[in-house]
Structure 1
Amino acid sequence: MSPATSTFADRLLGRVRLDGLLSLAAPILAIVFAGLITSVVLLLTDAPPLETLGIMADYGVQPRSIVLTLNSATTFYLSALAVAIGFRMNLFNIGVDGQYRLAALVAAAVGGAIVLPAPLHIALIVVVAMLVGAGWAAVAGLLKVRRGVSEVISTIMLNAIATALGAWLLNKERLAVEVSGSNNIGTRPLGPSAQVPGLAIVPGTEAKVFGLVVLAVVMGVMYHVLLNRTRFGFDLRATGRSESAAVASGVNVKRMVLIAMTLSGAMAGLVGMPQLLGASYSYSLDFPTGLGFTGIAIALLGRNNPVGIAFGALLWAFLDTSSSILQLHDISPEIVMIMQGTIVLSVIVAYELVHRYQVSAGQRRVSRELESGAPAQAEGASA
């Protein structure tokens, strides 16, 4: 390797490291800023900031709290992955909430109506959920590619339709039965063959982590491989960056939009599975809602990266879990919602500032290289 080529390689490696540090610094600074804003709010409400954070931290590291955090993070992670698939192609799938609830309802009804050996029973429920989620999201994809309807508008409306359809289906005359010992109604309970046992991996408590936490990990790996190691993933990311460039390279943009929305919906169908197969064993009126909107925030926080999303899901789940202790200390638990909202807004601003700095720094670097001429020769030598 010539000295010029070696110098160019060292400078390129240094720029890559700097970009990585800037990308890492953005969410950290955003979280610190959110902590400062939360501290101001706590001071205005006569609550000591450090003591409040200490109470949350002490409660959050207790064994049972760790289990609750991991369980919440599992569903948050799947929801954020569903949103991130669309984000990578500049598609805003706001309909994850309706997709996973409708998928969980139909899958629970199918699973409660039949009896199969354990692996097949569980697999059938999961496949049904993915198909329902994919089909519901594909409606928005078809509207976009055939009629030019914004996926933001269509998925919002489909959320409302899914809620109404779910209420219609969850009726005693159709899919619902009475839940013994309460006034609640839900689908027919899933038998033992459809239940995924929990994992006793946290010492000091009898509470168990959802067994489908393994599914979340697998989906994260598959997401990374699909988006970063396949031709389809390249085409998807290229379309998200520039549709005109993608068309020029032979990519069928309409086809990619439809596939991306369908994949996002299929992932959304998995969001309710840890709760359905690992805890409730039935879809009832008190089934968790709002996970789709939480996924949007976490996908933004994790910058659509599977590892970043994992950290975002754990942070979000930790804050949710630890907020339950605040009311016992006469501190409003809504302070956590303020902190979460501030984190999201701060991260968006921080990423934008980092992006602008990188663009500006790149322009200055190119200007210096054109003036000196030496790096340009090094680039030619390396080519």
Structure 2
Amino acid sequence: MNTWRARLLPPALAIVFSAVLCSAVLLFSGADPVATLAEMIGRVGRGGTAVDILNTAAAYYLVAIAAAIGFQMNLLNIGIEGQYRLAACVAAIVGGAISLPFGLHAVVVVVVGAATGALWCGIAALLKVYRGVSEVISTIMLNTLSIGVIAYLVQTFGELRGNTLGTAAIPPSGQVPGLSFGSAGTVFGLVLLSVAIGVGYALLRDRTRYGFDLRATGLSPTAARAGGVDSKKMVLTAMLLSGAIAGLAGLPEILGRDHTFTINFPTGYGFAGLAIALLGRNHPVGVAFGALLWSFLDKSSLTLDNIGVPKEIVIILQGTIVLSVVVAYELVRRRELAAEQRRVGRALATTGGDRA
């Protein structure tokens, strides 16, 4: 009974808190919460919004899983933004420069993307393990450095297309076909990669010794070391894995639609991934719902101008939802802790009374 209450109460409270806070924000801005929600939901059924939501959610899911792996170890990988953009750039350059059979070509591009993300994150991992440098500081610096590296790579290996500078186009042998819905758009083929990563993360987290060591080290590095876990190795491998998954986030668009990396490549996925991982409590299923919700808010907000609501209000709503989840889980955690302390106190009192 207590187990189910502990599982169901936090998300229920989070829904109530977020509904109340979001309604208050909308009312404060002069908007009707019911009309705003109805307009956003109605947008999903128009044009290619539903397909756009799914495609963007796939990228959000990958960066959120990358963040979740770090969170399991109490590591804050702020560098996901730089990792996925640099990985997409390098993968696009390699994909446009090589010629391989269909299928193998795309596999090589995916491997290059994952390897680039892992190597870029590995710099911060090595600095933390061998020099004690905070991963927060190093990954923020690497984010800034990646901007310059990307600009250099695009300038060196790119070509001008109209007013946009981009890498050479990936030939058809390296492209990944998607599922077309006619005028509604095409779901990227690499959406399935996000599903595979989610399944792999779930198995790694809950069914392997490595996943147990990952969570144990995050909960108590001292206890983990006492149990024979190499904490330095765990930090290094966790950050490499986080970077590798982050490096995949830009590939669905590269291989499924754009077939090139341009200076206008989407930004902001990395920072959204951190919030989505918090929203999903680092659980693969929770993160999936968080990614879909975040993508829904992003894409459906484009219609808010039609009812006189600034679309920027969605940024406030996203932050409010994350805040609600954090507060709800913390309240339940404290309540459960207090209840456990009372149970222990009663047990000790009973034991003392029996001895007397």
Q: How many angstroms apart in 1 are the aligned matches of 2:119 and 2:68?
A: 18
Partner of 1:212: 190
1:238 aligns with 2:216: yes
**Alpha-carbon RMSD:** 1.5
TM-score by length of 2: 0.95
Residue number in structure 2 paired with 1:248 = 226
Give the Å deviation of 1:112: 0.1
How far 1:63 sits from its partner (Å)? 6.0
Q: Is the aligned partner of 1:119 residue 2:97?
A: no
Amino acid at match of 2:177: P
Kindly indicate whether the alpha-carbon contact (under 8 Å) linking 1:175 and 1:188 is maintained by their aligned counterparts in 2.
yes
Correspondence for 2:354: none
The alignment covers a number of residue pairs equal to 351
- Find 1:222's aligned residue among 193, 200, 206: 200
Mapped to 2, the partners of 1:193 and 1:358 lie a distance apart of 56
Q: Which residue of 151, 169, 180 maps to 1:167?
A: 151
| Alpha-carbon distance, 1:371 to partner | 4.0
Which aligned pairs between 1:20-169 and structure 2 lie closer than 5 A? 20-25=7-12, 29-62=13-46, 64-169=48-153
1:192 is aligned to 2:172 = yes
Where does 1:254-333 land on structure 2 (aligned, <5 Å)? 254-333=232-311
1:331 partner SS: coil
Instruction: Give the structure 2 partner of residue 7 of structure 1.
Output: none
Instruction: In structure 1, give the amino acid aligned to 2:179.
Output: L
2:45, 2:54 → 1: CA distance?
11
Name the counterpart of 1:381. none
Distance in 2 between the 1:44 and 1:185 partners? 43
Offset from partner CA, 1:94-128 (integer Å, 9 cap, x none) = 00000011111001000000111111100000000
AA partner of residue 157 (structure 2):
L
Q: State the Cα distance separating 1:327 from its structure 2 match.
A: 1.3
Q: In the TM superposition, what is the alpha-carbon distance from 1:47 to its structure 2 partner?
A: 2.2
Aligned counterparts of 1:343 and 1:24: Cα–Cα separation in 2: 11
Structure number, greater radius of gyration:
1
Deviation digits for residues 44-73 of structure 1 (CA, Å, limit 9, x no counterpart): 333222111111111124362111110110
Q: Equivalences for 1:350-365 in 2 at 5 Å?
A: 350-365=328-343
CA distance in 1 between partners of 2:281 and 2:164 (Å)? 39
Q: TM-score, normalised by structure 1?
A: 0.89
Displacement after TM superposition at 1:195 (Å): 1.0
Secondary structure at the aligned position of 1:178 is classed as strand
Once structures 1 and 2 are overlaid, which stretch shifts more, 343-352 or 361-370?
A: 361-370
Point out where structure 2 has 5 or more consecutive residues left out of the alignment. 352-356
Distance 2:15 2:170 in 1: 41
Retained in 1: the 8 A contact 2:11–2:325?
no
Structure 1, unpaired ranges of 5+: 1-13, 374-383
The 2-side partners of 1:223 and 1:69 are apart by 22
**Counterpart Cα distance in 1 of 2:25 and 2:219:** 39
Q: Does the 8 A contact of 1:75 with 1:291 survive in 2?
A: yes
Can you list the C-alpha shifts for 1:172-218, whole angstroms capped at 9, x where unaligned? xx111112xx2001000011111111113x6x744111111111010
Cα separation, 1, equivalents of 2:206 and 2:32? 46
Q: Please list the CA deviations of residues 121-174 of structure 1 after superposition, one character each: whole Å capped at 9, or x if unmatched.
A: 000000000111000101101100111000000000000001111111110xx1
Q: Which amino acid aligns with 2:54?
A: L
Query: In structure 2, how many angstroms separate the alpha carbons of the residues matched to 1:23 and 1:45?
Result: 28
Write the letter of the residue equivalent to 2:11.
L
Does the CA contact (< 8 Å) of 1:38 and 1:335 recur in 2? no
SS at match of 2:179: coil
AA at the equivalent of 1:221 = V
Shift of 1:358: 1.3
Q: Is the 8 A contact 1:88 1:237 kept in 2?
A: yes
Matched residues in 2 for 1:329 and 1:103: separation? 39
**Moved >4 Å (runs of 4+):** none
